[in-house]
Structure 1
Amino acid sequence: MALNNINKKSIAVLPFQNMSNSLDNEYFCDGLTEEIINALARIKALSVTSRTSSFYFKNKKVTAEEIREKLKVATFIEGSVRTSKNKMRITVQMIDTLDDYHFWSETFDRNPQDVFEIEDEISLFIAEKLREHIGHLEIEDKLVEPIDVPVDIYKEYLKGRYYIMKLDIANSLKGIDILKGITEKAPNFLNPYLDINLSYIYMGTLGLLPAYEAFQKAQPFFDKAIELNPNSSRVQLNLSWVESWQNWDLKKAYEHANRALEIQPADDIYLTISNYLTVEGKLDSAQNYIDKALQLDPFSAMNHHYKGFLLYLQEKYNEAIPYLQKALELNPDLPFPPLYIGECFLLTGKHQEAINYYDDLKGVPITDLTQLGGLAMCYAKINDLEKCNEKVVELETYLQSNHIDKAFNFLILVNVLLNNYDKALDLIEQAFENHLPLILLLNTEPIIKPIKNNKRFKSIMLKAIPDNVNYKQKKKYKQTLLNRDEIEKYTKELEQIMIDYKLYLNPDLSLKDLASYLELPTNYVSQLLNQGFDKNFSEYINTYRINEFKERILLEENKDLTIMAVAYDSGFNSKTVFNTFFKKIEGITPNSFVKSNTSS
């Protein structure tokens, strides 16, 4: 990967190595790593690799080049912890991946009882040394807030979290038991409630426990977390999920997700917003958010799955498969990718390959219904009615079970493939009446295409998703494009979008991408730029890039960078285009501008 493409203000914190024989020290090492990741993530201008990708390298020997290539960061932290009864020695090293050298190391000898002070002290040390090395960062006086619980209870909490983060059912249940014990000893300690809720939700989502049972068990712990701190980033993210998947209120879901993002940017929040954009049918915008999630956590199985899922929805089946397969490589127990891998084969005409794939499926529980539903779709597609009906009858037995959502989903898809459109619509209406989340995902499902323009289907979709771009907005477009009032309205909207999202920093930005943010057809946006701004697309975007360059080139932190390095950071990907546009807009060369503004 080209070094120019790596954000200089990016960092990964690798898991601290346990240098003691004690397993308790292992819990502390993981906890310390997580706290430092969370602390650094509070620094707004810093891009911090998420936990999943950092922990992918636990107990692995790595080089600076590997970290640069795999995590795409300019700096990484590694360290170790050795404890005895009265003493803790923590060593920390900071490595520049671009030039491959250790530019800072420190040893901290501290009392193990001062755990919260240690976490904050080390996080601040790292932030300060990073600022000295890469340039200005706004750093708060404290990055780790002390928790009002005894150290012994906090260490027990780290033990519980250690087990639930293994993500299999046996360890998750073991961790939940430990965390439940902590809620009895320290009823006002927020973290255990959030982690128990997270663990149950995860097991329900992945099919490790029946979803209804898992969500029901999670709810009391989430309610207590809301009571303790409604402004926590994790609480806001969970509230967002509730508003979306339980209440079907996407406006409130966005509000909570954006609040969580403001408190502490994280890949799962970007993934969540991508999910909501998908529900609304804004697939191009959804791709932008999942790409950001993958940038922060390139070793997240869920992020790779969702990238593949989006490509599947856009009918880019051959592009989708590698992402879905990568997700399974990272987490073989993830239940979602196999369904879409099989469907990609099926929808590209590889019918026998799809049948063989579902037939040979291993590791996915029978109750997940992927194998059963996948084969039913295959037989429907090749019109093998006898085998298809056999599978349909079996699927129908699950309509009275905890797996009703998945059963309905497969029965709807199978009936569409069989051209039984009225039956499919009847099932969709029943699913809507039962308030099943699958309704929100039907909006963009390729197999549903034959009935998407059906009045019954449109009616259900608009009741479930009132702002559905596939059915509501397309109806209002006129042959005459935009009138004067609409141009004025969308001009303001576009200016705000450019301020909020800084789309121009993406060197590959296209007119189509811009249109996806405004939720307008590309022709309308082309007209808007011409009549509202008196510019074409290139002139409009490059004007923002020139202004960004003018600000960046004068910053102290960029004084050692070349003019073109700053131009690339500002969104340009061509020296010729940059120089041409700069001279056209400013009337002087970039060199002349820099000299006239930096001479003393």
Structure 2
Amino acid sequence: MSSNKPTNKTTVAVLPFVNMSKSQNNAYFCDGLTEEVINALAKIKDLAVTSRTSSFYFKNKPVTTKEVKEKLGVATFIEGSVRLSGSTMRITVQLIDTAEDFHFWSETFDRNLDDIFAVQDEISLFIAERLREHIGHIEIQDKLVEPIDVPVAIYREYLKGRYYIMKLDYKNSIKGINILKDVIHKAPHFSSPYLDINLAYFNMGTMGLLPAYEAYEKAQPYLLKALELDPNSSRSQLNLAWIECWQNWNLKKAYEHANKALEIQQADDIYLTISNFLTVEGKLDAARNYLDKALQLDPYAAINHHYKGFLYYLQEEYTTAIPFLNKALELDPMLPFPPIYIGLCLLLSGKPDEALIYFGSLKGVSVKDLTKLGGETMCYAKLNETDKCHDGLKELETYLATALADKAFTFLILVNALLGNNEKVVDLLTEAYHKRLPLILLLNPSPILKSVKNHKRFKDIMLKAIPDNVNYKREKKYKQALLDANEIEKYSKELEQIMVDYKLYLNPDLALKDLASYLELPANYVSQLLNMGFQKNFSEYVNSYRVNEFKARILLEENKSLTIMAVAYDSGFNSKTVFNTFFKKIEGITPNAYLKSTQKDSF
């Protein structure tokens, strides 16, 4: 997961908040609060926020700053704790710089539980503002968490239901679904539980905990109701994108919805979805670029590693593909997709015997979803074991009228392509097209079908399914500078004069908003002013004044009896770590070394 590249300073992770309550039953509340903070920060377009899967990988695990930096690739991470007691809550939050390994901000919020929505917004805004002060200019919305029109007691039940479905096993998923159904009964206008029940069934179908057709059939009504209640949320737009692509085969509209989702929130599953759509079009390099963004935000999501391997498979880089596919299975052994492509990579890289052994060893989900049968039949085709291949084809055909028709068609098409039966391949694709089976969309770039791609009927089918006029390009919205060059020059001079006249830096709790108040400008403007006018973030700007103040004070006779830290505190610093870090960054030596050098100079 680690990289030798310098860490982008706008990357941030929110680790799961620790439950400090007496009752361990309150863990759901901590997880829910963590998710809300992740989602809120992800709305800030200048930040790259690690997604839930990767953040929660560290739940209940002791972790060092170095490990977080290496495994998540972030410049800053947030950790916190929650203590519930009756109708009150105490939430403690800390921000840690991974490069310097120091806490640069912490705060405790004592609030009433009835204020949970306001507190979520307050905490998210506090974090965003402190991040901006530390890393430099980012634009922050006035509000990051919208209040939900449900009583707090029902919202807590919702968090509990989501907590159970995110455990991703059958028993807890069913428990979570039942809780969420009760929430819907009490608050039928609340869209989130509908989306989460849809997610729970979708996950169970994908992971083989329920037959896929049964799971998706159960999920559909909840998704449709959620879309009816809240069509404009990021999650709703993402689901609409899936429907337009995989059900309606309308890539143009699918891209529109995916882009709307991305405008609302930067999330790995949105980047992954756009990568899927680009793959359908055969734009594999562009697909990989979007997938890399998904992996940056969620390096511990099994599906992201699977899809990276899948893209390498499509580009016939089989040796490169296998480690990603294996990593996906390591992260989620129940994920049904990687075994297909691990076997195919072996098969197409000239190792049919090894592929046959691999497919033959598969158990569990891979047997139920035809991967074992289909994989072995493909190997028999490649090995010219005609009778065994024929038997496999016959058995696969028996599934064409079942809920596994999609998988059966896929393997029948691939086996016949390996046998060179191009007419049969096109016949099967035509039938799949008329049945509106989504499989044909991802078969378009398949390396096994290269010999069929110039077939006229194949081209006609693919052109109907995937029109060539989509021409997807994400519209880049360039931000207009909040201040022009003349204004930056003007306000830079004003700010410097204010700092000299009022010595604001001596206030250890000075915040960007305070500077904004003196300049009578919005905080976003002042953030940009510091960035463009001084090439510094708020912390660098203010602490440079404090360092100079310290250097002046430490030489005064009246301060000779004071410790270094006493003078540092008098200069506006409120933390030994922050003082030492910034002093060395600015002066190039430690405060102790600086003091010794001044004493030498005095002789």
Which category describes the TM-score, using the shorter chain as reference length? 0.7 to 0.9
> Alpha-carbon deviations, 1:424-473, whole Å to 9, x = none?
2211111111111111111101111111111111111111111189xxx9
From 510, 514, 532, give the equivalent of 1:555: 532
Distance 1:82 1:124 in 2: 21
Distance 1:303 1:48 in 2: 16
The Cα shift of 1:329 comes to 0.8
The Cα shift of 1:557 comes to 7.1
After TM superposition, the structure 1 = structure 2 runs for residues 254-403 of structure 1, keeping only pairs within 5 Å, are 254-403=255-404
Per the alignment, residue 179 of structure 2 pairs with: 178
Per the alignment, residue 23 of structure 2 pairs with: 22
Contact 2:93 2:106 in 1 (8 A): yes
Contact 1:3 1:98 in 2 (8 A): no
Distance 2:294 2:478 in 1: 15
More off after superposition, 218-227 vs 393-402: 218-227
Per the alignment, residue 117 of structure 2 pairs with: 116
Per the alignment, residue 102 of structure 1 pairs with: 103
The Cα shift of 1:556 comes to 4.4
Q: Per the alignment, do residues 557 and 14 of structure 1 end up closer, same or farther by CA in structure 2, a change over 3 Å counting?
A: farther
Q: Per the alignment, do residues 14 and 406 of structure 1 end up closer, same or farther by CA in structure 2, a change over 3 Å counting?
A: same
The one-letter code matched in structure 2 to 1:429 is T
Per the alignment, residue 128 of structure 1 pairs with: 129
Contact 1:461 1:468 in 2 (8 A): no
RMSD: 2.3
Per the alignment, residue 523 of structure 2 pairs with: none
The one-letter code matched in structure 1 to 2:535 is N
Q: Secondary structure at the match of 1:147?
A: coil
Per the alignment, residue 33 of structure 1 pairs with: 34
Distance 1:211 1:177 in 2: 20
The gaps in structure 1 that reach 5 residues or longer are 474-492, 503-550, 562-600
Normalization by structure 2: what TM-score? 0.78
> Alpha-carbon deviations, 1:292-329, whole Å to 9, x = none?
11111111101111011000000000010111111111
Distance 1:384 1:501 in 2: 59
Q: How many residues align?
A: 489
The Cα shift of 1:20 comes to 2.4
Aligned residues with identical type, % of pairs = 68
Distance 1:234 1:349 in 2: 42
After TM superposition, the structure 1 = structure 2 runs for residues 152-551 of structure 1, keeping only pairs within 5 Å, are 152-467=153-468
Per the alignment, residue 592 of structure 2 pairs with: none
Distance 2:315 2:414 in 1: 17
> Alpha-carbon deviations, 1:398-435, whole Å to 9, x = none?
11110000001001111111122222221111111111
Higher radius of gyration, 1 or 2: 2
The one-letter code matched in structure 1 to 2:338 is P
Distance 2:113 2:149 in 1: 16
Contact 1:113 1:151 in 2 (8 A): yes
The gaps in structure 2 that reach 5 residues or longer are 480-527, 539-603
Distance 2:447 2:266 in 1: 32
Distance 1:5 1:553 in 2: 23
The Cα shift of 1:250 comes to 0.5
Q: Per the alignment, do residues 444 and 19 of structure 1 end up closer, same or farther by CA in structure 2, a change over 3 Å counting?
A: same
The Cα shift of 1:499 comes to 5.1
The Cα shift of 1:253 comes to 0.5
Distance 1:25 1:256 in 2: 36
Q: Secondary structure at the match of 1:88?
A: strand
> Alpha-carbon deviations, 1:2-56, whole Å to 9, x = none?
7762111111000011122424310000000000001111111111111111001
Distance 2:350 2:226 in 1: 49
Distance 2:310 2:366 in 1: 21
The Cα shift of 1:62 comes to 0.8
Q: Per the alignment, do residues 159 and 394 of structure 1 end up closer, same or farther by CA in structure 2, a change over 3 Å counting?
A: same
Distance 1:368 1:454 in 2: 30
Q: Per the alignment, do residues 433 and 139 of structure 1 end up closer, same or farther by CA in structure 2, a change over 3 Å counting?
A: same
Distance 1:175 1:447 in 2: 42
The one-letter code matched in structure 2 to 1:28 is F
The one-letter code matched in structure 2 to 1:275 is N
Q: Per the alignment, do residues 4 and 448 of structure 1 end up closer, same or farther by CA in structure 2, a change over 3 Å counting?
A: closer
Contact 1:24 1:159 in 2 (8 A): no
Per the alignment, residue 87 of structure 1 pairs with: 88
Q: Per the alignment, do residues 45 and 246 of structure 1 end up closer, same or farther by CA in structure 2, a change over 3 Å counting?
A: same
Q: Per the alignment, do residues 321 and 86 of structure 1 end up closer, same or farther by CA in structure 2, a change over 3 Å counting?
A: same
The Cα shift of 1:558 comes to 3.4
The one-letter code matched in structure 2 to 1:559 is K
